[in-house]
Structure 1
Amino acid sequence: MSLDQLYQQIILDHSKTRHGSGLSETPAPDGAQTGQSHQLNPVCGDEVTLRVAVDDGNVAQVSWDGEGCSISMASASVLSEMAEGMTVDELHETIGAFREVLRSRGKIQADPEILGDAAAFEGVARYAARVKCAMISWVAAEDALNQAS
């Protein structure tokens, strides 16, 4: 299996089995700060609401709800799966690295050591119209994280 095929499979798997989907009704840990952000891409209709709980500088909980294309839903799934357990600083750095790759128009390769499964979205960078699809949940996460910190 080629790297492109593996990346396509990761996106397909996450768009079907959405990790973290459904805004959590479980209360955040005692003392945790929460933030929530709703993002909408009016051009294509992708919509994501993402909630994050931060406890003692660590991302304790991430949940989201949304509707949209397979890229936007898979991206939210990958983000929620990898973000829990990171420090706030690590998640900010990861969001920055993801943004840099997607805005590069294919000139910057994703580093799987930094981005994990999110490296699968590297190919999206070549399609300007799809970058917002992949970024919508990451923008929501950044906003929610800033509210919670």
Structure 2
Amino acid sequence: MLPEALARQIISDHGEHPRGRGELAGARHAARDNPGCGDQVTVWVRVEEERLAELRFTGRGCVISQASASLMTQVLAGRSLAEVRDLAARYRAMVMGEAPPDPALGDLVAFAGVSRLHARRRCALLAWNALEAALAGG
């Protein structure tokens, strides 16, 4: 697990300066919003030969939802769909407090502390739910 100060720095950096932001022409996408707070994220994916060739997002929201989407684009792009689904399941389990931080998640372990903040779990999972829907064709 990352020291709390480093985790906050990673989340703050990605929340204020998100990577992977912007539409992706010709991509499948799924939009999701968090009715509890109004955050909105649209995830754009391009899949080639069972690999997540490119991943981007658009939307607005709190630092946690935007940082999670930003880091998701960095960690998952270029991976096989099997790897994407595995890492998404590991991330979800960590955020929900069902599993400890997993080094395979890289900087995404910065969100481990969100498991203690029940209202913020939805924020941390918003883009991931949209990704799941996009990969399912929705």
Give the TM-score range, shorter chain: over 0.9
Question: Is 1:14 aligned to 2:4, yes or no?
Answer: no
Number of the residue aligned with 2:40 = 47
Q: Which runs of 4+ in 1 moved over 6 A?
A: none
What amino acid is the match of 1:136?
L
Q: What runs of 5+ residues in structure 1 fail to find an aligned partner?
A: 28-33
Q: Deviations over 1:80-127 (max 9, x none)?
A: 1111111001000111111111112xx632112x21111100000001
Which residue does the alignment assign to 2:50?
Answer: 57
Identity of aligned residues (%): 36
Q: Is contact 1:20-1:64 (8 Å) kept?
A: yes
Is residue 2:132 matched to residue 1:142?
A: yes
Q: Secondary structure at the match of 2:109?
A: helix
2:114 match: 124
Distance 2:115 2:130 in 1: 19
CA distance, structure 2, for counterparts of residue 16 and residue 24 of structure 1: 21
Whether the aligned pair in 2 keeps the contact of 1:36 and 1:49 (CA below 8 Å) is yes
Partner of 1:30: none
Q: What is the root-mean-square deviation of aligned Cα atoms in Å? A: 1.5
Equivalence map 1:91-102=2 (5 Å): 91-102=84-95
Total equivalences in the alignment: 137
Partner AA of 1:109 in structure 2: P
Structure number with greater Rg is 1
State the distance in 1 between where 2:136 and 2:28 align: 7
Unaligned runs of 5+ in 2: none
Q: Secondary structure at the match of 1:147?
A: coil
Counterpart residue identity of residue 127, structure 2:
S
User: Contact between 1:35 and 1:146, CA under 8 Å: does it hold in 2?
Assistant: no
